[in-house]
Amino acid sequence: MASFLRHIGKHGDRKLAIVFREVPGESHMALVVYTETLNRNIHDPLVRCIESDIGQNSNDLADALNRSYTTNGEIILQKLHAEGMLKKVNTEVIVMTPSPNTRIKLSELNKILDEMQKGEEAVKKLAEMDASLGIQDVAAVARKMRGNKDAAEPSTIPANKRRIESTGGDVLGDDSIANNLRQQALRMSAEANGLLAEAARLTKEAESLTSSTISGASIDVPTKVKKTKGKVKKVALV
C-alpha cells in the first residue's frame, strides 16, 4: 500500500472508504462503505481501485468505482448500491487517515478542499476575463439586466441589427476592435520613441556640463610669505 492514500478513514474503530465526501444537498453528510463488512469479491477490487492512479486522482471515489469491477464482473459502485452497503455518516465523526501519522476530520478537510476549489475557480475566471480583454458577452449582460426569461438575443436588438450588417455579422465588430488595438499600439510606440529621444538628449546635456566643469576649474596652490631684503615674496608650497 502507498504511504499516502486518499478516500480512506475511520468512524470510531471501524475502517471505511469515503465514496462521496459530501452528499448532494447535505454537505454535512458523507456517503461511505465500511470495508470490513465486504466479502472478498468486492473488498479486494475496491482496495485496488483506491490504490490505483484513477482512484487517487478522483475527487470522489465514486467516479473511480463506477469504472471498476468486482471479481464477478459487476461495476463496484452499482453493486454497493444494490446491496445497500452505502451509508450516510456525519462528516464530523469521520477521521481521515491517509497515512499512519496523519489524522484529520472529514468536515475540516472538506472546508479546505472547498476553499482551494474556489481559489482555482477565481484564478480561472480572472484568466478568462483577461483573455477577453474585458469584453463581456452581450447575451450575458442582457440576461443579468432583464432576466433570463425575456432577455433578447443580441441579433434581435435593433441597434445590434445595424451593427451586424455593418460588421459582417459580428455584433462586437472584430475588425473595428482590431483596428483600435493597432492604433493604440502605434500611439504607444510613438510615445516610447519620444521618451527614448528625450532621455538621450538629457544624457548628452549632462555629459557636456560635466566636461565643462572639469576643464574650467582652477586649482589653488598653498603659498607662504617669505621676506628677502625688505621685499615680500610668495613661495609656493609644493
Residue 166: which pLDDT band, with cuts at 50, 70 and 90?
low
Average pLDDT over residues 141-159: 51
Residue 130: which pLDDT band, with cuts at 50, 70 and 90?
low
Instruction: Specify the higher pLDDT residue, 199 or 166.
Output: 199
Q: What is the pTM of this model?
A: 0.51
Instruction: Specify the higher pLDDT residue, 126 or 183.
Output: 183
Please tell me the distance from the alpha carbon of residue 238 to that of residue 228, in angstroms, as a whole number: 20
pLDDT at 48 over 50: yes
Nearest one of 116, 77, 111, 119 to 91, comparing CA atoms: 111
Using only C-alpha atoms, what is the Rg of the chain? 39
pLDDT, residue 219, reads 47
Average pLDDT over residues 65-76: 96
How do the domains of the chain map onto residue ranges? 8-110, 134-168
Q: Beta strand 102-105 with 14-20: parallel, antiparallel or unpaired?
A: unpaired
Please tell me the distance from the alpha carbon of residue 83 to that of residue 94, in angstroms, as a whole number: 22
